[in-house]
Amino acid sequence: MLADAGAMRDLVADSLTDEIFALYQMYAAAGVEDFAWLNGHHAPQTLEELRAFAKTRGHDCGAGHCLWADDYAINKICELADVAVLIIDEQAPASGSRSGRKRQRGGDDDGRPDSRFVMVGEPSAARVVILHRSRRQHFSPIRFDGGGACAPSALPGATRALWPKL
């Protein structure tokens, strides 16, 4: 398993390519909110600047001034550590509801998976890690049975059912 957040950040930063940088720039140009940081005057202009920015730690410059936990980064960590990350996302709407709340009384579900429960990585991964994404956009680990990672089969059936691909 990877040693710490700094080591994970460095591995992700070093794996960034010109293709990923171009994809990030395309997202920023299309107005994707999570990539607005590429539109500022301090935005990285080269792959090397992007890698340096990706290595910047929040505790050194403030959480709003660094790159972390985007889809590419989480997928790369999943690949390297052979884990699937199960995210409980408070910001996402529940299926069947415009307000984000699951219908309580007799309302029909629209058949879509509940978008509050996101899986990143392969369902065949040897282990899973559960993260809670708060309304403050912060990811916190959820410990299960005293540890941070476990085999998917160790999770209770009701918990596994939240992520149908498990």
List phi, psi (to 5°) of 163: -120, 90
Co-location of 56 and 15 in the same domain: yes
In a domain, 59, yes or no: yes
* Contact (CB, 8 A) for 84 and 71: no
In a domain, 22, yes or no: yes
For every one of its 166 residues, what pLDDT tens digit does the chain have, with 9 covering 90 and above? Answer: 445 777 888 999 999 999 999 999 999 999 998 898 898 888 999 999 999 999 988 778 766 677 777 889 999 999 999 999 999 998 787 765 444 444 443 444 566 678 899 999 998 888 999 999 887 667 888 998 888 899 999 999 999 999 999 8
Radius of gyration of the chain (CA): 18
Co-location of 46 and 22 in the same domain: yes
Please tell me the distance from the alpha carbon of residue 24 to that of residue 112, in angstroms, as a whole number: 28
In a domain, 75, yes or no: no
Give the predicted TM-score (pTM) of the model.
0.76
In a domain, 145, yes or no: yes
The CA-based angle 26-31-34, given to 5 degrees, is 85
Co-location of 89 and 118 in the same domain: yes
In a domain, 30, yes or no: yes
Co-location of 14 and 56 in the same domain: yes
Please tell me the distance from the alpha carbon of residue 63 to that of residue 74, in angstroms, as a whole number: 17
- Domain carrying residue 155: 82-160
